[in-house]
Every structure is written in C-alpha cells, then in structure tokens.
Amino acid sequence: MKQVFLYLLLITLAIFATFFAWVKIQEKIVEKTAAEKPNIIFILSDDVGYSDVGAFGSEIKTPNIDRLADEGIRFANFYNMSKCEPSRSTLFTGLYEGGKNAVNFAQLLRNSGYYVIHSGKEHWMNWAPDHVRAKNVSDQSLTFWAMSEFFEPPSKEWSNPFILNGDTVGIDKIYHEQKPFFKTDALTDNALRWLEEPVSKDQPFFLFMGYGAAHYPLQARPENIAKYRGTYKKGWDKIREERVERLKKIGLFPESAELSPPSSNINKFRGHPKGDEERRAKIPLYTPWEELNEQEQDELDLEMAVYAAMVDRMDQNIGRLLNYLDKKGIADNTIVIYMSDNGSCPYDSNRDFDFPPGVAEGFRTLCAAWANAGNTPFRYFKQFGHEGGTNNHFILRWPKKVKSGLITRQQGHIVDVAPTLLEAAGVKYPEKLGEISPQPLHGSSLMPILLGEKRTEPEFFMSGWTDRFRMFRKGNYKIVKANDETWELYNLKDDPTEITNLAEQLPEKVKELENEWLKKKEEYKQAAK
C-alpha cells in the first residue's frame, strides 16, 4: 500500500512539474510575441491639404515627411471624413458612425500589452461614448479639445485649455523645453519623455501625435516664417500650376487629368464674424493674383508664409521622433503613419485684423484661395465631400514589412486604419469588452496593399461633414452634395478632379447610389442603439 502511495505521489509531482514547465513555456511565448509586436506612431496633421507636403508636390520643406514617403508607401488616393471630429471619431473606432458600443482601438492595443500615449488634439462626434476618450484609454495623455492657440495668449485665456492625464492645466504644468511655449514643440517634448518608459522595458507602444498644425490660428516661430517670406509672391495660381506638375512627375496624379478650376468658398453653411465688412467680403472669393495690388500681395504672401512655417515646424518635430527611433534602434519594427484629417480650411474665423498672421497676439485664418492651392489638384475644401475636402495624403513606413518607395493607386479610407493596425499588432477585435458588445468594424485591413498585393476593394466609401455635405462612392462613381443642395455625380476614373457633373445625364445612377447610401445610413442608425 505504501509503495502504491509513493508511486501515485511521484506521478502527481511529475504532472505538476510538467504543468508548471508548460506555463513557463507559455509565458516565454507570450513575452516573445509581445516583443515582436510592432510599435506604432500615428501622426495626424490638421487642415493640411493634399499637396501641402513635399512628398505630395509642395514647395514647403518637409524632409522628414518626405523621408517617410521615400522609405515607405504613399497612397495617391486616401479618404478621410472631411472634418476634424468625424475623421478622429472614425479613425479611433473604425466606424463611419457609431454609438454607445463604439470602442477605441487604442484600448484594445493597451489591453494586449501596449503602452498608449495620446499627445495632441482630441475631438469627437456626439455619438462617441465617454469611454473612448484619451484619458480613459491612455497611459499618458496631453490633449486639447478641437483647437487652441499655438503660443500662450497674452490674456492667458486659451480657446480650449490643455488636459494632462484628465486634469485641466496651464503651461506652467506642461513640460516644455523651449521658450516661448509653442504647442507643436511641447507636444513632442512630452511624447519623447513618455516614450522612455515603454522603450526601456522593451514594451510595444502606440503613440498618437495630434499636432493641431496647421489649423488656425496662424501662429509660428519668427525664424520659421522668415524662411518662407517672399516665396508666395508668385501667387496662388502659379503655386497650383507648379504643384500639379510635381504631382504628375512623382506619379501621384494622372498625366491626362485636368487641374480643377479655381474655387471660391461656397460659404452658405458658415458665416463670417462681424467687423471690417469690406475686407471680409474678399476673404471667401477667388481673385486672379495679378489683379491684386502690391500691398495685398505682400499681406497674402505673409499669410501663406506663416501657414508654411507651421507645416515646416511640424515636420521638424516629426524629425525628432524619427531620430529617437533611430537612436534607440527600434525604427525597423515601428509603423509610422502620417496623414491629415481633412483638406485645407478656407473659413473666415479671424477674430480681428489688428495683428498680422504669425504672432501670439493675433488670431488669423487662411483665405479660401490659399486653401484651394493647398488642396491642389482638387476642388473645394475641408467640410466638403468633394475630393478637395476628403481626399488627402497618406504615408506609411514599416521597414520590417513594407518595401520602400512604393506608390499605390488603390483606394484607402481612414475607417481602414483601425483594422489594419489591429492586424499588424496581432490583436483580435473582440465580441465582448467588459459590458460592451463592440459594433463590428466598418473598414477593412490595408495589409494586402502594404505587402504589395491587391486588396478586395470595399463595397463603398463614405465621407463629408454631416448629411449636408455627404459623399458616397461605389466603384468609379461618386455622389456628393454641397450644403444639402442636389446630388452631383462624378466618374472619378475619367474625372478625378470632379469637373463634369453627370447627374443630369445619369439620373438612374444617382438614384441607385442614393438608395444604397440611405440603406447604409439606416443600418448604422440601428446598430448604434
């Protein structure tokens, strides 16, 4: 009996030893998997037009963004949601429209072992639940809502205050290395400091950089403005012509395609502030450059020089991030994405004209004609569902997986980012997250394109600010409306700059696409409940 007991004891001990050895092996497998997960940096600029960066034809000096393009892949056609809050809401949730069961993909990354940092702008649609906010999904966050000044206002009263890990703070509580305080620099200062923790522990990280540049107000450091002073005295017409030629040379725009005609701002949806009515009457209108007098040309040269300086400064800070990756030896397994939330912005939100663009005392905005140049070669601007508002640059670098120097004409959309990054990180989208039953993602992974393959094109693409500026695209055809006017119809294969409206010629196609859009709209409404 004693021998039987000892025999059973030995067998039991052997089973336990085997089990614990298996657990240790599994722990090592998990550790190894975590170590192999790619780091992710997502950089979202604000109101920067399709051709406002060097890699997409600009005269603005953006060597670091250009480096990402040279070492990664450029999408010639990539949609956003045409305005700040819908683009961000769709980016983080992977939904065109959601509700209480929307989830932030950054939360899923964090749950799988990622260190999450949100440094920059935060702006959500009303349908986005509180649990998707940066303070609830990040290990570290420094945010501001919608927009804020770049320099500290002399009055100390910000348009929107900074939120540091959930607490409202002044700049005295925000780490920054250079004086005077400048938002673009400070956001990078904090991001780089926070990255030390995960990098020192070999922990994968997700960093969102929402610079806010080059959203108004037009403010920039003097040395950056000086770099561009005089560059724009050739005028917006010449700038558009030069940019479209570079786009064709790069291979981002078809040789046979036409540059869209100059656009004025159809500003029926957004009024102008009161005061200086004579000047304000000119702001939304296109005027041939040569018809302006010398003083007007000089003032407008300064306006665009400040805007260029803001983009330039953002690029310098992107360079700081890239240098950090190189210094730490982690660039090869880090996905870096750069895109803009929508096209360039033409809206007159100038608070006064007592101060010129650039300075901390002023609050100036870009005029429609310069915004039109930023969106070269397309029509219209931010908010519109036309290509000028919703088609923007998208660059992705991932040395470990993506070949350098690629350009693709396959269509992508900001709704595709969440499924792409979850796939890259090896994270499965959950059927249950606590008490939440997450809404199914509306986008699909871009991974086949990144690996040089053909992706099955999604059934449709949607964009535009609310239903008043909605666009719905299926295949080559796209319907779009401006400020709730009648639907326009374009064949983007033959007419990528939307010059010829086919709505009267093909009313049945308009009705077909409208019905499909209405069907999807109702589906999303029901799913959001």
Residue 20: what pLDDT? 45
Is residue 518 in a domain?
A: no
| Rounded CA separation 86/470 (Å) | 12
Q: For residue 18, is pLDDT > 70? A: no
Whole-angstrom CA distances from 106 to 55, 77, 102, 420 are: 28, 25, 12, 12
Is residue 91 in a domain?
A: yes
3-state DSSP helix/strand/coil percent for the chain, to nearest 5? 40, 15, 45
Three-state SS annotation for 280-330: HHHCCCCCCHHHCCHHHHHHHHHHHHHHHHHHHHHHHHHHHHHHHHHHHCC
pLDDT digit string (tens) for 340-355?
Answer: 999 999 999 999 899 9
Confidence of residue 370 (pLDDT cuts 50, 70, 90): very high
Q: How many domains does the chain have?
A: 1
How distant is the alpha carbon of residue 169 from its chain centre?
A: 25
Is residue 500 in a domain?
A: no
Q: Which helix (H) or strand (E) element contains residue 190?
A: helix 183-200
Domain CATH number, residue 379: 3.40.720.10
Residues near 333 by Cβ (< 8 Å), separated by ≥ 6? Answer: 36, 38, 39, 399, 400
pLDDT digit string (tens) for 462-516?
Answer: 999 999 999 999 999 999 999 999 999 999 999 999 999 999 999 999 999 999 9
pLDDT digit string (tens) for 428-438?
Answer: 999 999 999 99
Q: For residue 31, is pLDDT > 80? A: no
| Rounded CA separation 210/121 (Å) | 5
| Residue range(s) defining the domain that contains residue 157 | 36-453
Is residue 323 in a domain?
A: yes
pLDDT digit string (tens) for 223-279?
Answer: 999 999 999 999 999 999 999 999 999 999 999 999 999 987 777 778 889 999 999
Residue 33: what pLDDT? 61
Please tell me whether residue 142 adopts helix, strand or coil conformation. Answer: strand
The answer to whether the beta carbons of residues 117 and 500 sit under 8 Å apart is: no
pLDDT digit string (tens) for 519-528?
Answer: 999 999 998 8
pLDDT digit string (tens) for 375-416?
Answer: 999 999 999 999 999 999 999 999 999 999 999 999 999 999
Is residue 210 in a domain?
A: yes
Whole-angstrom CA distances from 375 to 59, 268, 429, 433 are: 13, 20, 35, 40
Q: For residue 30, is pLDDT > 50? A: no
Is residue 10 in a domain?
A: no
| Rounded CA separation 32/194 (Å) | 23
Residue type, 247: L
Is residue 449 in a domain?
A: yes
Is residue 57 in a domain?
A: yes
